[in-house]
Amino acid sequence: MKVSLLPASALLMLLTWNVSAESDFAYKKQIDRHPEALEIIEAREMKLLLDPNKVGYSPEIGLHKIWDKVKAFAESNNLTIQEKPYNFDGLTYSTKVYYDTVDKQLAKQGYLVRITTKYLQGQPASSALTVKYLDRNHPERVFGAMLDEEDAALEENVGPAHNYQLDTYLEKSLKVDADPSSLPSTFGEFAELAPLLSELSIAHDIELIGTGVYSIRMKPGYVVLPGLPFPSGISMEAWLPIDSGEQALIYDFSFGYPTGDYYDMESTHIAAESFMQKLYQHVDTTLGLKDNPKWRGSKASFLRNSGLEIPPFKNLKASDLRFYKAPKPLPDGTVAFNDDPS
């Protein structure tokens, strides 16, 4: 694995070797669809789903095995990634619960509602409510969503398409802190935390049903991209059933970067997409999820639409908690966790 930084021109040349023609890049397709609206996109995320049956092992070991394969892929293709010098193998544990009415009224109106609770030393440490709006068939509607929410962010997700190409979709999201000791249950209580939900025609006394997973996340390093002042953080995640816990439902590999000026970041977009496209092709048969283009890299879409039988989420019992390994202190004595609820 190469860890030294390359000049942007050399890195771009390496990344674009043996990939699709420039006109096939996902960012080009996005510009063609929305030639004047993309300056408000705040970030792009490259996403790939991996099959737990192909990964094997327990989830914690499986994440390390995936990272080993990514490093080997980068080395064999002369691509530059960096491993964190400290706590590259640190793991973050959380629950992620997706809520909707029994008849899926939120999903039918384009909304995804999730509560993430992070656990430290077996206790809930923090919670966050995330509300997302997406419409893959009518992406122009995403631009007009949440217009009154100053903290709402527009993000582009880039994931697998057919013939080892990549495609893209937009989502707008809002995240607010929640009290882990008093989480909402009715639609009205969710709307109190995120008032934009009040605009939907759903009765406030309806109890929302939760579909939950146990998440183990590892942030081991970075992809080095041209045109950015810092490398792009890599995230790998395993989702498990909350009530069993030894076999993952799904894994993913992703990395993202902010888009200060979407139209003036061609070298960054090409390098990021080329890395993910080559990785997708490299690991598809050995690690890739069947029908990967169907999910476009979205774990939430896979969770809700793949036919998995997951019982409604009630609560996390102490017996369901996995052992938490605290990260090692940094040289200055401080402890930095790999991420916060997201």
pLDDT tens for 194-204 read: 999 999 999 99
Rounded to the nearest integer, the mean pLDDT of the chain is 85
pLDDT tens for 212-262 read: 898 999 999 999 999 999 999 999 999 998 765 578 999 999 999 999 899
Comparing CA positions, the residue from 254, 240, 298, 252 lying closest to residue 112 is 298
Would strands 91-100 and 81-83 be described as parallel, antiparallel, or unpaired?
Answer: unpaired
How large is the greatest C-alpha to C-alpha distance in the chain, in angstroms?
A: 59
pLDDT at 299: 95
Residue 1 above 50 pLDDT? no
Residue 313 in contact with residue 242, Cβ under 8 Å? yes
More confident residue, 173 or 37: 173
Proportion of the chain above pLDDT 70, given as a percent: 84
pLDDT at 9: 38
Distance CA 128, CA 180 (A): 8
Structural domains in the chain?
Answer: 8-320 (2.40.320.10)
Distance CA 208, CA 200 (A): 14
**Model's pTM, two decimal places?**
0.86
Secondary structure (DSSP) of 65-107: HHHHHHHHHHHHTT-BEEE-SS-TT-EEEEEEEEEE-TT-HHH
Mean pLDDT throughout 156-172? 95
